[in-house]
Amino acid sequence: MSLRAMGVTIDCFDPERLADFWSGAAGFTNREGDGEPYVTISGSNVERAVNHPMFQKVPKSKTAKHRVHLDLFVDDIGVEVQRLAGLGAR
């Protein structure tokens, strides 16, 4: 098989803001794009991190439940919730 990576693209209203959040949450250090229409982040040292999430600008904000979510695996959920809330999670 020649597949070498797999990314996830998330439609969103503010790709720069979402990329900033996930960069802080998962330690991504590389960023490409200006949000018109994409921002791609990569370069995390997290073991088995999603290779390069991409955030794609769409004209309207969400009106229904998201059909994609990212699962995070942590040692202490309370500590991680506080850290992510400090980055802007709700």
Per-residue pLDDT of 1-44, as tens digits, reads 676 777 889 988 899 999 999 999 999 999 999 999 999 999 98
Q: How far apart are CA 40 and CA 50, in angstroms?
A: 12
Residue written as token pair 């979402």 = 18
Domain chopping of the chain, boundaries: 9-86
pLDDT tens digits, residue range 60-86? Answer: 777 777 777 777 888 898 999 999 999
- Contact predicate 18/64, CB 8 Å: no
If one counts every other C-beta atom within 10 angstroms of the C-beta of residue 81, the result is: 13
The pTM score is 0.78
User: Residue 54 gets which letter from DSSP?
Assistant: E
